[in-house]
Amino acid sequence: MANSKYEYVKSYEFEDEIMQPNLIVVRLDGRNFERFSEIHEFEKPNDVRALNLMNSCATAVVEEYPDIVFSYGFDDEYSFVFKKTSNFYQRRASKMLTLIVSFFSSVYATKWKEFFPQKELEYPPSFHARVISCATLEVLQVYLAWRQNACHSDNLCRTCFWMLIRSGKTIEEAKEALKDCQKEEKNELLFQRFGINYKKLPEMFRQGSCIFKTEVEVVVKYDEHGNPIKRLRRKPNIVHTQNIVAKKFWNEQLVLVKELGGFEDEIAKIKTEYVKSFLFENKLLPSTYIVIRIDGCHFHRFSDIHGFEKPNDAQALNLMNTCAVAVLKEFHDIVFAYGVSDEYSFVLRKNSQFNQRQASQIVSAIVSFFSTMYAMKWKEFFPQKNLKYPPSFDGRAVCYPSEEILQDYLAWRQVDCHINNQYNTCFWMLVKSGKTKAEAQQCLKGTQTQEKYELLSRQFGTDYSSLPVMFRQGSFVYRMKLQEVVVDHSNIIERSFWKEYSSILEEMPAHTSAANECTQTSVSAS
Ligand SMILES: Nc1nc2c(ncn2[C@@H]2O[C@H](COP(=O)(O)OP(=O)(O)OP(=O)(O)O)[C@@H](O)[C@H]2O)c(=O)[nH]1
Ligand SMILES: [Mg+2]
Ligand SMILES: [Mg+2]
């Protein structure tokens, strides 16, 4: 196949399988949620609606991915624990973390109105995610204890802080008053000054929420005499408890003991060397172009269910392009993007220090942002169609050490676009002309490019090269002078393209590239 010349770029992709018997946790956490909660006027210190929305998204995740057997969340974070025998996506870390964070994000966007009926989503919220692998069940126990401790102490601190602010203190004064303040003193302060018994505050605020499944008997059908036939089914429940890793609590949950194991001991102390491993992150090679490629999960089904036009739906592609433009506006270190079908490749500049080049932080932020944007923008592109279920995307990060190899990578994607589009165009024309799918397939088997050109013009009077350029060549997105982000279509395989657009891959002077986390993205941007 014509593809082979560029296919060598695949060898730059790396394996990231988490080996048995490690237990896998995916943890996600709101990106810049302080600002998000300000703009959406969340109640302080805790907003019940926002927490319920998080719980509802996590429940959707648990229902979507049966391998997740336990999850725990508070504030803007959630951890998902997979059963020990899970073979979800062959235990590939980047697949697991991006699918979960993507699905969670698009559920968050689609469910927003249910929890905040009076409030518009002003811009797409997004989440970071990472995989934590726990070598033993004891390590998992410490991990969960560590997160619940964080919930306890964060909440106590936040509660004190906002009571002080409400009583008239400035932010600085409140911070000063709480500096070096121990847990007991904070409890005292709440009680003495504000008459609040901390232990009486809602459990969800103090303890966080766990979701796990219990086996319940449900009626699946009725026999011919009208008697109910029951089966055991696993149903997720949201539970609040003081200590999620207490033996008394954990070992009583049959599903947890079966899928993860029972705890042997109580946690006496959170080991700092374990916490260090929970915080560890792989970094991508310096001075290489980082490409984040995202791809729609089961978009074959998604496009069928939503009745996309075949082989190309211009609106669906425009929606993808609009999301990609928003990504470039949000992440300033992305200099170029190329998209076709349900995929997009985002190129970060060579010396980017975005998220300290931590692979999972970068890929999760982009995938999550793209997913919420896709869900939020859907109605604009498909006003007549409801989004039937939340779409999700997977993502990976790959480093390319030179401009040349990067250009070959992009050429590889565009060659793929050519081959697939030409095939699909012929295939659907044959099908629309009355052939069965199997006949159309048979007709095209082993045909070369030239033969397909001829088939189209001979049988259907179609000149392939006159079809819309977006279908034939995909789309690229870049930043023009004055920072305007634009979509265009061109042959990016030819090196002349890169001569014409030579400034795209040129490094900026160091001082202009320091601050790159994010700026505000407005939803109305297109
Ligand atoms: N009808 C139609 N389908 C599209 C369009 N764009 C993408 N698709 C569908 O999305 C699929 C994308 O291919 P893949 O990414 O390889 O397949 P997938 O079904 O998403 O499966 P995974 O990516 O492995 O989860 C295509 O095969 C099409 O079925 C479109 O414009 N119109
Ligand atoms: Mg796909
Ligand atoms: Mg694809």
What residues sit around ligand 3, an ion, with C-beta below 5 angstroms? 295, 341-343
């259907």: which residue's tokens? 460
ipTM of the complex: 0.92
Phi-psi region of 343 (alpha: psi -120 to 50; beta: other; left: phi over 0): beta
CATH of domain 20-280: 3.30.70.3000
216 forms beta bridges with 233
In angstroms, the CA 315 to CA 418 distance is 19
Q: Give the Cα separation of 233 and 252 in Å (integer).
A: 18
Residues lining ligand 1, Cβ inside 6 A: 295-300, 303, 308-310, 312-313, 316-317, 341-342
Distance separating alpha carbons of residues 206 and 200, to the nearest angstrom: 9
Distance 299 CA to ligand 1 centre (A): 4
Q: CA–CA separation, 215 vs 232, rounded Å?
A: 6
Check if the beta carbon of residue 49 is closer than 8 Å to that of residue 116.
yes
Which ligand 1 atom is at minimum distance from the Cα of 297? 25
**How much distance in Å is there from the Cα of 421 to the middle of ligand 2?**
15
Chain length of the chain: 526
Give nearest CA residue, ligand 1 atom 11: 300
Q: Which of 64, 96, 299 to mutate to test the pocket of ligand 1 (most atoms within 8 A of CB)?
A: 299
How far apart, in whole angstroms, are the C-alpha atoms of residue 517 and residue 104?
22
Helix (H), strand (E) at residue 228: strand 228-239
Contact 518, 355 (CB under 8 A): no
CB 513 within 8 A of CB 324: no
Domain 289-504 in the same topology as domain 20-280: yes
Q: Give the closest ligand to the alpha carbon of residue 298.
A: 1
Dihedral over Cα of 129, 395, 320, 290: its sign: positive
Domains of the chain, by residue range, sit at 20-280, 289-504
Write down the pTM of the prediction.
0.93
Q: pLDDT in tens for each of the 526 residues of the chain? A: 455 799 999 999 999 999 999 999 999 999 999 999 999 999 999 999 999 999 999 999 999 999 999 999 999 999 999 999 999 999 999 999 999 999 999 999 999 999 999 999 999 999 999 999 999 999 999 999 999 999 999 999 999 999 999 999 999 999 999 998 999 999 999 999 999 999 999 999 999 999 999 888 889 999 999 999 999 888 899 999 999 999 999 999 999 999 999 999 999 899 999 999 999 999 999 999 999 999 999 999 999 999 999 999 999 999 999 999 999 999 999 999 999 999 999 999 999 999 999 999 999 999 999 999 999 999 999 999 999 999 999 999 999 999 999 999 999 999 999 999 999 999 999 999 999 999 999 999 999 999 999 999 999 999 999 999 999 999 999 998 778 999 999 999 999 999 999 999 987 655 444 444 444 444 443 3
> CA geometry: angle at 176 spanning 172 and 180, to 5°?
150
Instruction: Determine the 3-state secondary structure of 311 from DSSP.
Output: coil
**How far, in Å, from the CA of 305 to the mean position of ligand 2?**
14
Instruction: Give, as one character, the DSSP assignment of residue 26.
Output: E
| CATH no. of 289-504 | 3.30.70.3000
